[in-house]
Amino acid sequence: LSGLIDELRTVVEPAHVLTDPDLVGPYVTDWTGRWAGYARAVVRPSTVDQVAAIVRACAKAGAGIVPQGGNTGLVGASVPRGGEVVLSLRRLAEVGPVDLAAAHVRAGAGVTLAQLQAVASDANLRFAVDLSARDSATVGGMIATNAGGMHVLRYGSMRAQVLGVEAVLADGSVLRRMDGLVKDNTGYDLIGLLCGSEGTLGIVTAAQLKLVAAPRFRVTSLVAVAGTASAVSLLARLRSLAPLEAVEIVFADGVDLVCRHAGLPPPFSQPYPCLLVVECAGSTDPTGEMADVIGEGPDVLAVAVASERAGRDKLWSWRERHTETVNALGIPHKLDVTVPIAELAGFERDVRATVSDVAPGSKTILWGHLGDGNLHVNVIGPDPDDDRVDEAVLRLVAARGGSISAEHGIGIAKRNWIGLTRSPADMAAMRAVKAALDPNGILNPGVLFDEGAGRAGSENEGSG
Amino acid sequence: LSGLIDELRTVVEPAHVLTDPDLVGPYVTDWTGRWAGYARAVVRPSTVDQVAAIVRACAKAGAGIVPQGGNTGLVGASVPRGGEVVLSLRRLAEVGPVDLAAAHVRAGAGVTLAQLQAVASDANLRFAVDLSARDSATVGGMIATNAGGMHVLRYGSMRAQVLGVEAVLADGSVLRRMDGLVKDNTGYDLIGLLCGSEGTLGIVTAAQLKLVAAPRFRVTSLVAVAGTASAVSLLARLRSLAPLEAVEIVFADGVDLVCRHAGLPPPFSQPYPCLLVVECAGSTDPTGEMADVIGEGPDVLAVAVASERAGRDKLWSWRERHTETVNALGIPHKLDVTVPIAELAGFERDVRATVSDVAPGSKTILWGHLGDGNLHVNVIGPDPDDDRVDEAVLRLVAARGGSISAEHGIGIAKRNWIGLTRSPADMAAMRAVKAALDPNGILNPGVLFDEGAGRAGSENEGSG
């Protein structure tokens, strides 16, 4: 053990190899509070060469490595399970300059989303992925988890923004595809494979990221409809709007709680079963075409529109304040799922009924990204450690052909349920890829595949 | 040998196991005429179960398999090298219906791009990838090669359109992720990994494909500029146009040849060094903002604009007729490369000089997709079998951080040069993935990796 730590102190400045429990604390506890573990050390390199040397040292010692960015993940994949080395990428924080003609920018793994957005904005461009943890979520973590957010409908998830990566592989070699090429059919898409692999196939140290045009106009509509089925039929029409950027869904019970918790007035003079936040953004004013498309439908019960910042923020508030409202009511069971759009209405009905059966007296609040079929299912009431509700919801999702993890990943939290939506052939292929690229299982052991835990990383097995 | 063929005849109707040289001919010769080989049989299954049974039979016999779609590939990956079984996917040709709310459609591997586009269009939607081989190129082949085309700038390549795949793996198991989910972070992105893997990791039998809004307005501008550097600076401005869909580049020498070959008038009253075809398409008329952005520049020498079909086609003709013009002059060396946008002007200058040095008296015609940094380098003059020009051009590309294969893939044609842009660490990772998913090397042997040839597929090794 001390041998490895001594070696790590020759790779990075000793002050960046943390073993003092007071210093290590924030790196070993998940921000949700649900996951925590013991790290034999936290290492904070500042260059890719240091990362490679750390990986080689850990490989030699048989020590597991938990790569960590902003530690804002939701599935327990960024904190140690038992005795791994936490490899914090936050010091790899160089970003820019923006290449204007190619519309991309190089960013180190430790650059936060907020930093990246600021650099893009200064160049009159925009980074297409946005999410609420923007001040702490890092580029490396967002790649490792294939982060989603509000704008996937238009621009795709993180994977679609990554034109290049630099990553350290399990043997300490460095994979470098950093020329920012939009078209490059030279062998396998290892870039896309690393995206969403949750630190189990390689450690991303930098990326070349696509930027998109900053919109000159942005218009938001809050649209009341009779329920999910009406929302889905409106969605089909909305897709004809080229500048469509977000279609979010909330329900009357959630809106009512938000109004009470956050002190907001009701959005309309009367309550409606279901509300959509529809946003368009582009280089010309979309107000007219938006009104035409939304207004055409027989199923639209009420509409409010805003194009100025303050008015748009107000329309968004009934959606955006759901998370804090639910957290204030207790520790929710948070399930982040996708179902095929055609199954959404049936799923919404069933999930409420099923949760009531499994956990009588609990409260189910739903909201999400309608355009992607992505619902956040929040259940308040059952004990946080009781996962019967989680399992019941995920089984419903699987039965309707959905995904048990839309945006957050599998991590530790959902690995026992991965078989619900991934067939044995699929699992065998994924395990084969893992074994091929990390034969000794040192990269984020225990994440995705349950038996990975303990293969590497436990202190007993490590040598120094 | 006959044992395998007998077994294949129990899997599919005997009439769909072809061994007669007259029938086999079109399946073993590349449409460019450059590649041809011997197949022990051509099998034409019509269901995924038949494909799986064929793969199992070939695996048992140690026979290599060459998956084939429309056989319109450009790098020799769709015809046999020596004694493989050609597995034609063309009979898996079911498509639809379109899911309007989710905006996607299921298509069998054998569906042609033209069929797919027609089905999308009937639903008032559009499939975002377009290319000239649309009547014969198939969905399976376009996924295997990660096809590109004109609209990558806006919508990404084929990989970005594939929401789901069904594929037969090397052991005959079936990977199925066909729910059409936009967001699904459940393990590794095997869908994206199969895209562009050129039939070496699995055989795609069907896909769930994303559709986009059909534009109501489309406007094309032909813009004359002083050269590549001016074109690149205009490109940076054009990126602010949200409805920007294509930015193509041609040069004076190519345009002059096109006019003479195709009997077209010159595009402007005087010749200009470089022309761009700029196209915008969307749900509102982009004419005004396009004119504003293009007109703002000091480097724009002349502009022609058209919004009606006939006028737009005419503006495109000086770009589109390059391929036939070059083919009429002889058998060109065709190199499909990307360089970083910032390197384009230097590359354009160097490639002309280098080709003149290596092949004095040859003619170099360039055109391409400026927005992606993708140039098609066509050299007429050197003997088709003399690859010194190819190597010199690809070395220039690599030196500038480009891609030796932007759209077409590696196949057989470029496998000797893959090391120019893929490091040993990268190659080792790709070989590890190949070995993990196809340990006996039966899927498209010889493609991508040179020593794959002969590991499986030669008749001597096969047993029956």
pLDDT band at A451 (very low <50, low <70, confident <90, very high): low
Q: How far is A294 from chain B (nearest CA, A)?
A: 14
CB distance A176–B426 less than 8 Å?
yes
Q: How far is B3 from chain A (nearest CA, A)?
A: 28
pLDDT band at A152 (very low <50, low <70, confident <90, very high): very high
For an interface test with A, which of B185, B216, B225, B248 has the most A Cβ atoms less than 10 Å from its Cβ? B185
Could you report how far apart the first and last alpha carbons of chain A are, in Å?
4
Q: How far is B54 from chain A (nearest CA, A)?
A: 17
Q: How far apart are CA B125 and CA A13, in angstroms?
A: 57
Neighbours of A122 (CB within 10 A): 11
Q: Which of A234, A236, A372, A203 is nearest to A301 (CA)?
A: A234
Q: Which of B417, B404, B432, B419 is nearest to B193 (CA)?
A: B432
CB distance B182–A235 less than 8 Å?
no
User: What does the pLDDT look like over B416-463, one tens digit per residue?
Assistant: 999 999 999 999 999 999 999 999 999 999 999 986 433 444 433 333
User: What does the pLDDT look like over B253-299, one tens digit per residue?
Assistant: 999 999 999 999 999 999 999 999 999 999 889 999 999 999 977 88
pLDDT of residue B2: 75
Indicate the residue of A99, A188, A427 with minimum beta-carbon distance to B193: A188
State both tokens at A386.
């009781």
Q: Write the CA distances from B91 to A235, B12, B50, B69, B107, integer angstroms.
A: 34, 12, 11, 9, 12
Q: How far is A23 from chain B (nearest CA, A)?
A: 32
CB contacts of B241 in chain A (<8 Å) are 213, 283
CB contacts of A205 in chain B (<8 Å) are none
Indicate the residue of B240, B284, B433 with minimum beta-carbon distance to A188: B433
Segments of A329-389 assigned E as strands: 333-338, 363-369, 374-380
Q: How far apart are CA A409 and CA A446, in angstroms?
A: 13
Task: Judge contact between A263 and A324, C-beta under 8 A.
Answer: no
CB distance A423–B176 less than 8 Å?
yes
CB contacts of B286 in chain A (<8 Å) are 284
H-run or E-run covering A167: strand A162-168
What number of C-beta contacts closer than 8 Å exist between A and B? 287
Angle at the Cα of B185 from the Cα atoms of A55 and A349, rounded to 5 degrees: 155
User: What does the pLDDT look like over A406-422, one tens digit per residue?
Assistant: 999 999 999 999 999 99
What lies within 8 Å, CB to CB, of B20 at 6+ separation is none
CB contacts of B100 in chain A (<8 Å) are 236, 239
CB contacts of A218 in chain B (<8 Å) are none
Average pLDDT, integer, range B74-100: 95
pLDDT of residue B1: 57
For all residues of chain B together, what is the average pLDDT? 94
* Residue predicted with more confidence, A133 or B164: B164
* Bond prior to A97 in cis (omega within 30° of 0): yes
This prediction's pTM: 0.95
A343: left (phi over 0), alpha (psi -120 to 50) or beta: alpha
Task: Judge contact between B136 and B69, C-beta under 8 A.
Answer: no
Residue in the block written with tokens 């893009």: A120
CB distance A423–B190 less than 8 Å?
no
B308: left (phi over 0), alpha (psi -120 to 50) or beta: beta
SS3 A318: helix
Give percent helix, percent strand, percent coil of chain A, each to the nearest 5: 35, 25, 40
Q: How far apart are CA B395 and CA B405, in angstroms?
A: 12
For all residues of chain A together, what is the average pLDDT? 94
CB distance A184–B405 less than 8 Å?
yes
**Contacts by B5-8, CB closer than 8 A, 24 or more apart:** B5/B40, B5/B41, B5/B464, B6/B464, B7/B57, B7/B61, B8/B41, B8/B43, B8/B54, B8/B57, B8/B85
CB contacts of A282 in chain B (<8 Å) are 242-243, 282
Residue in the block written with tokens 């959005």: A267
User: What does the pLDDT look like over A156-182, one tens digit per residue?
Assistant: 999 999 999 999 999 999 999 999 999
State both tokens at A85.
């080395």
Q: How far is A99 from chain B (nearest CA, A)?
A: 8
CB distance A433–B433 less than 8 Å?
yes
CB contacts of B242 in chain A (<8 Å) are 213, 215, 242-243, 282-284
What lies within 8 Å, CB to CB, of A191 at 6+ separation is A162, A163, A164, A165, A177
Q: Beta strand A95-99 with A174-177: parallel, antiparallel or unpaired?
A: unpaired
CB contacts of B188 in chain A (<8 Å) are 193, 196-197, 201, 430, 433-434
Chain B CA closest to residue A288: B284
pLDDT band at B393 (very low <50, low <70, confident <90, very high): very high
Give percent helix, percent strand, percent coil of chain B, each to the nearest 5: 35, 25, 40
Q: How far is B18 from chain A (nearest CA, A)?
A: 30
CB contacts of A423 in chain B (<8 Å) are 174-176
Neighbours of A385 (CB within 10 A): 7
What lies within 8 Å, CB to CB, of A20 at 6+ separation is none
Chain A CA closest to residue B147: A185
pLDDT of residue A456: 44
Task: Judge contact between B372 and A182, C-beta under 8 A.
Answer: yes
Q: How far apart are CA B370 and CA B275, in angstroms?
A: 11
H-run or E-run covering A166: strand A162-168
User: What does the pLDDT look like over A214-256, one tens digit per residue?
Assistant: 999 999 999 999 999 999 999 999 998 989 999 999 999 999 9
Neighbours of A453 (CB within 10 A): 18
pLDDT of residue B451: 61
User: What does the pLDDT look like over B361-370, one tens digit per residue?
Assistant: 999 999 999 9
Task: Judge contact between A289 and A332, C-beta under 8 A.
Answer: no
Could you report how far apart the first and last alpha carbons of chain B are, in Å?
4
